[in-house]
């Protein structure tokens, strides 16, 4: 099992693109992508990325999240 943190991912993309795009721009793009994905998941949407994978939340996770949010109000 291989793990990569955000900094390592940004650095890998930077290297993959032959250092043509500044690291800060790659980080901004990654943050934007993760924000869009997170927002979609919070709305209960499923995200499919071609041959990469499908992302979604199980109903039990969503129910637990709703219960915790309701208790905070």
- Residue that the structure tokens 């990325």 belong to: 49
Give percent of the chain with pLDDT exceeding 90: 63
The pTM score is 0.71
Do 46 and 54 contact (CB within 8 A), yes or no?
yes
Tens of pLDDT, residues 12-37: 999 999 999 999 999 999 999 999 99
Q: Is the pLDDT confidence value at 64 over 60?
A: no
Grade residue 1 by pLDDT with cuts at 50, 70 and 90. confident
Q: Integer distance in angstroms from the first to the last C-alpha of the chain? A: 40
Q: What is the pLDDT of residue 2?
A: 84
For every residue of 26-69, DSSP letters joined together read HHHHHHHHHHHHHHHHHTT--EEETTTEEE---HHHHHHHHHHH
**Residue scoring higher pLDDT (38 or 69):** 38
């Amino acid at each position: 099992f291989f793990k990569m943190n955000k900094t390592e991912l940004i650095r890998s993309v930077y290297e993959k693109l032959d250092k043509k795009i500044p690291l800060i721009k790659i980080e901004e793009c990654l943050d934007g992508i993760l924000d869009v994905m997170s927002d979609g998941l919070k709305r209960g949407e499923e995200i499919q990325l071609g041959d990469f994978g499908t992302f979604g939340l199980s109903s039990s996770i969503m129910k637990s999240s709703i219960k915790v949010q309701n208790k905070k109000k």
